[in-house]
A and B are shown apart, each in its own frame.
Chain A
Amino acid sequence: MSKNVLTRMGDGQRIWISESELKADIDAGTAEAAERARIPELSADHKAQLLDIITDPAKVVSVQPGEEVIVTDDGCSMSFYSGQDGGGVGIPMSRMQAVLAYERACAADTTSIGHSDYSFKPVKPIINFETNEYYNISMVSTAPLFYGAQPNMGLYFQPDGPCPNPSELLPHGKIDAALAAQEEAAQYLTRDLVFVGKRMAEVGCEGLNFDTSGSAGDADFFGALCAVQALKKAVPDMPILMGASGEFVIGMHGQIAFKGQTLAGLYPHEQARVVADAGADIFGLAIGTNTTRSVAWNLARAVTFLKETTRSSPVPVHANVGMGVCGIPMLEQTPIDSVTRVSKALVQIGKADGL
């Protein structure tokens, strides 16, 4: 009879389960990812390594010396001064103070700023505020400073934006109109991303982050890809990190293609290639956590997707380890036992270039 191990469910709940149940969850998780994306399952050795990581009796685990990777973020310094809904701790401090505290007190590898709405569209009317802020901070920061936000194409649909809303058109069977609305919104999105990117480039932007691309579907992903391509043509030396929003590109449109590649249904190893093809320098991988399955199941699944992505990606791959992503439980305060196990497995087995 195997001993019971303390672990968690995808919603963070503590559970005691047997090693044999953990093994079954790892088998099921990797098989699920492999079947979905038509990629190899984890080998027996890697499954055993993953089991060792999960069953490590220590609360906090880590990689071995020399295996460390770098960390990029999606507005982490905002968490110093923002509130609970932004994962923030509510300390009254300026953006510059937050970046410097993150960089120096937390020894961050990279830092970033972004609009507090964390979308590019609302940056446009306040671009001078943002460029001034970026420039001032870049003069005193030492680690790479990104300007980041989400493409968030949903903001271009009525009532928030100019385009008809596909979610209202589709239930009425107006399919052509829904497709046209998404194509129009993608153009608005590209235009705004390029506008902000070019203005940031003028003030010496060290790196741009298109975070959570594709959150409104394949047209959203397309809009971001087109922006990367345009910015790399206009400002070739400005590094761009393009991160995805999920394990596959949702086919809200279904027919949109970038350089002949249909985007709907692309899994991470395919996303990375198209992102690199557009000209991005780093790809961000995101795998949703299933809250009704264990961390072991979720992590086996995430590592399987990541392993194939890092193997085939021409650019560095950073695995997203925010709440509810890549096996991290969907919990406001993410438990350190799960966070460190997920991080270790993504680096050691998934071969992530960064987190």
Chain B
Amino acid sequence: MAWMQMTRGMKIHDAKDYVARKLKVDLLDLTDEEVMRPLREELGIGTVTSVAGSPKGMRAKLKIAELLEIPIRSVELFKSQIS
């Protein structure tokens, strides 16, 4: 939701709707640990507990930018350096 406020200036309800649609979950699921924990691992967008070998940091942000269809400036810089 924070990424959507920052990159698209979305207010909180619009940001939640947008992210829920992109993740294909209900609004209530966004803050439900039982739903989001495995989904975050499956999508590779970072988990609170550390799973060895699972994306976090830049690898997770690459996936977040792709899923939400937003430019994340650090990701853009990273991509320009590896391409």
**Which residues does A use to contact B, with CB under 8 Å?**
65-66, 68-70, 72, 104, 107, 109-110, 138-145, 201, 203-207, 237-239, 241, 281-282, 310, 314-316, 352-354
**Which residues does B use to contact A, with CB under 8 Å?**
1-3, 5-7, 9-12, 15, 27-28, 30-32, 45-46, 48, 50, 56-58, 60-61, 64, 71-78
A237 with B31: CB separation less than 8 A: no
A316 with B12: CB separation less than 8 A: yes
Q: How far is the CB of A310 from chain B (nearest CB, A)?
A: 8
Chain A residues with Cβ below 8 Å from B57 are: 139-142
Of the residues A237, A282, A353, contact of B71 by C-beta under 8 Å: A237
> In the complex, what residue of chain A is closest to B10 when comparing beta carbons?
A316
Total A-B Cβ pairs within 8 A: 88
B73 with A206: CB separation less than 8 A: yes
Docked complex Cα distance between A70 and B5 (Å): 10
Q: How far is the CB of B74 from chain A (nearest CB, A)?
A: 4
Chain B residues with Cβ below 8 Å from A66 are: 27-28, 31
Q: A65-B32, A70-B5, A205-B73 are in contact. List 12 more A-B contacts (CB 8 A).
A: A72-B2, A142-B56, A142-B60, A144-B2, A144-B3, A145-B74, A206-B6, A206-B73, A237-B71, A315-B9, A353-B5, A353-B15
Of the residues A69, A203, A207, A310, contact of B6 by C-beta under 8 Å: A207
Chain B residues with Cβ below 8 Å from A141 are: 57
| Residue in B9, B12, B30, B75 whose Cβ sees the most chain A Cβ within 10 Å | B12
Docked complex Cα distance between A109 and B76 (Å): 21
Chain B residues with Cβ below 8 Å from A239 are: 6-7
Docked complex Cα distance between A204 and B73 (Å): 5
Chain B residues with Cβ below 8 Å from A241 are: 6
> In the complex, what residue of chain A is closest to B32 when comparing beta carbons?
A65
B48 with A139: CB separation less than 8 A: no
B46 with A142: CB separation less than 8 A: yes
Chain A residues with Cβ below 8 Å from B72 are: 206
B73 with A109: CB separation less than 8 A: no
Docked complex Cα distance between A140 and B57 (Å): 4
Chain B residues with Cβ below 8 Å from A201 are: 73
A69 with B74: CB separation less than 8 A: no
B9 with A281: CB separation less than 8 A: yes
A104 with B48: CB separation less than 8 A: yes
Top 9 A-B pairs, shortest CB-CB distance: A204-B77, A239-B6, A204-B74, A140-B57, A142-B46, A353-B12, A138-B74, A316-B5, A142-B60
Docked complex Cα distance between A314 and B75 (Å): 27
> In the complex, what residue of chain A is closest to B3 when comparing beta carbons?
A144
Chain B residues with Cβ below 8 Å from A70 are: 1-2, 5, 12
Docked complex Cα distance between A311 and B2 (Å): 20
Chain A residues with Cβ below 8 Å from B60 are: 142
> In the complex, what residue of chain A is closest to B61 when comparing beta carbons?
A142
> In the complex, what residue of chain A is closest to B80 when comparing beta carbons?
A204
Once A142-B57, A316-B10 are accepted as A-B contacts, the answer to whether A281 and B71 lie under 8 Å apart by CB is no
